[in-house]
Amino acid sequence: MRARNIVKLIASVDKLDSRSYNQLKDAIEKRDSIKFVSRLLNENCGDISCPYCKSQSIQKWGMRSDMQRYRCKECRRTFNTLTSTPLAYLHKKGRWLEYAKCLKDGLSIRKAAAKCGVHKNTSFRWRHRFLQNANEIKPGKLSGIVEVNELIFAWSDKGSKKLRRKPRKRGYKSPKHIPPKSRVFTLFCRDRGKNTFDDIFYRFSADNLKPDLSTLLTKDTLFCSQNKAVYMKYTKENSVRHGVLSIPKQESVKKDVVHIKNVEKYQFDLQVWMVRFRGVATKYLHNYLSWYREMDEFDFEITTETVLIRAMRPERYNTNHFR
């Protein structure tokens, strides 16, 4: 804008009524928010490489929508820091930071939509885009004493147009009343350093546990669990040190060391936290588990900037969650 036009714009501010002044103020704040988010994403993109051919030979290629664009010297394609990330092609960038705050506060889809001024469908899409990478941010190893327990959920087709089961009115009284074919098992492994690993299984067996636990546990790990057949079989076949708690004897602590109180508290807090959503579709259950695990990792003191930056990480999403 030319200097004389800027002078005219400043001079006209005094002539605005309250309604027009508020509209101008909102427009300026919206623009500032877009610039802040763009600068935050540009500054925290890490090592930049071509998302198409993975080449490191790139050059700056102008700006668009306040985002720095790059051009690959190998494949000659252009991209920005959001290309091939879960945030790619999302609109209303100026409201992303406010939505990240809604995720931090654990708001429902409709409450987040009302707070950010977007449609509920947009809020739903943003939620699962923001949480897409959180599913991959898990500890690679657990050390020391590892407590293991499972949690049973009923299969939910919430939001689907077709049900894979007969409709039920009030759900189930307890996990024991859930039919075997409608059970979804969630495994939780938590060490005394508060590092948590979780995974979802349609069939809960020792063979299904092996791919996860074989890479997760070390030789010095003490595997603490109840004396259930699945855990007994796995530890015996894989020569894992096992601290066993007897279910018939109702043992809660053994030798002042062996117990699963930490992982049980984590499961209880997770269930209480999920009540606000009034049921979660099974196909999105992994996102909610990752959401809570991320909050627990930062003791629920994660910043909105961190939530947004984590959502920008390159996509490594695996759609096969059930074994």
Q: What is the DSSP string of 5-36?
A: HHHHHHHHHTT--HHHHHHHHHHHHHHHHHHH
Span 256-282, mean pLDDT? 92
The DSSP 8-state label assigned to residue 2 in this structure reads: -
256 confidence band (pLDDT: 50, 70, 90): confident
The confidence score (pLDDT) of residue 147 equals 94
The predicted model gives 240-261 an average pLDDT of 87
Average pLDDT over all residues of the chain: 85
Q: What's the angle, vertex CA 273, arms to CA 270 and CA 279, rounded to 5? A: 95
Q: What is the mean pLDDT of residues 271-278?
A: 92
For the ranges 29-33, 105-109, 135-139, 169-173, which has the lowest average pLDDT?
29-33
Whether 185 is covered by a domain: the verdict is yes
Q: Which domain holds residue 256?
A: 140-161+170-303
Using 50, 70 and 90 to split pLDDT, how confident is the model at 316?
A: very low
Rg (Cα) of the chain, in Å, rounded? Answer: 25
Query: What's the whole-number mean pLDDT along residues 1-22?
Result: 69
pLDDT for the residue 310:
87
Could you tell me if 177 and 171 are in contact, meaning their C-beta atoms sit under 8 angstroms apart? no
Residue 295 domain flag: yes
Number of Cβ atoms within 10 Å of the Cβ of 126:
26
- pLDDT at 172 exceeding the cut of 60: yes
10 burial class (0-12, 13-18, 19+ CB within 10 angstroms)? exposed
How far apart, in whole angstroms, are the C-alpha atoms of residue 1 and residue 147? 63
Residue 198 forms part of a structural domain: yes
- Whether the predicted pLDDT of 25 surpasses 70: no
The tally of domains found in the chain comes to 1
Token pair for 292: 């809570």
pTM above 0.95, yes or no: no
Contact 217, 234 (CB under 8 A): no
User: Averaged over 194-221, what is the pLDDT?
Assistant: 89
Q: Is residue 90, in this structure, part of any structural domain at all?
A: no
Residue 120 covered by a domain: no
User: Two tokens at 297?
Assistant: 């990792």
pLDDT at position 136: 80
Amino acid identity, position 169: K
Identify whether 206 is part of a domain: yes
pLDDT, mean of residues 236-251? 87
